[in-house]
Amino acid sequence: MIEQISTEESVSKTMLKGLTLKELKDFFTAAEEKRFRGDQVFEWIYGHMAASFDEMSTIPNYLRKKLNLYCELNTLSLVTSQQSQRTGTKKYIFKTHDDLAVEAVIIPDPKRTTLCISTQVGCPLDCQFCATGLMGYKRNLSSAEIIDQFLMVSRDYGKNKISNIVYMGMGEPLLNYANTLKTLQIFAEEKTKDISLRRITVSTAGIAPKIVELADSGLKVKLALSLHSMFEETRNKIMPINKKYSLAENLEAVRYYAKQTDTRITFEYVMLKDINDRTDDLNALIRLCKSIPCKINVIPFNSISHMSPTGYAHELQPSQKFRVDEFVKTLRENDIVVMVRYTQGDDIAAACGQLAYKLDHNEAE
Ligand code: SF4
CATH architecture of 77-362: Alpha-Beta Barrel (3.20)
Is residue 54 scored above 90 in pLDDT? yes
**Catalytic site includes residue 116:** no
Residue 199 CA to ligand 1 center (angstroms) comes to 21
> Nearest to residue 296, comparing CAs of 273, 321, 276, 322?
276
Is residue 355 scored above 60 in pLDDT? no
User: Is 77-362 in the same CATH topology as 4-72?
Assistant: no
Residue 129 CA to ligand 1 center (angstroms) comes to 8
**Catalytic site includes residue 294:** no
* Across 9-37, average pLDDT: 92
Is residue 32 scored above 90 in pLDDT? yes
Is residue 69 scored above 70 in pLDDT? yes
What pLDDT is stored for residue 361 in this prediction? 42
Global pTM reads 0.90
* Across 3-21, average pLDDT: 76
Q: What is the pLDDT of residues 164-214, one digit of tens each?
A: 999 999 999 999 999 999 999 999 998 776 778 889 999 999 999 999 999
Lining residues, ligand 1, CB within 6 Å: 123, 125-127, 130, 132-133, 170-172, 205, 226, 353
Pick the CATH number of 4-72 from 1.10.10.10, 1.10.10.60, 1.10.150.530, 3.40.640.10: 1.10.150.530
- Asked if 220 contacts 266 with a C-beta cutoff of 8 angstroms, the reply is no
> Which one of the listed residues 72, 103, 172, 268 is annotated catalytic?
103
Angstrom distance (rounded) from CA 241 to CA 209: 13
Least confident piece of the model among 153-162, 253-262, 274-283: 153-162
Q: Where are the domains of the chain?
A: 4-72, 77-362
- Within 43-195, strands assigned E span 71-72, 77-83, 90-95, 101-108, 113-117, 120-122, 137-140, 164-167
DSSP letter at 145 equals: H
What pLDDT is stored for residue 190 in this prediction? 80
Q: What is the pLDDT of residues 273-326, one digit of tens each?
A: 999 999 999 999 999 999 999 999 999 887 676 667 777 778 888 999 999 999
Q: What is the pLDDT of residues 77-110, one digit of tens each?
A: 999 999 988 889 999 999 999 999 999 999 998 8
What pLDDT is stored for residue 129 in this prediction? 86
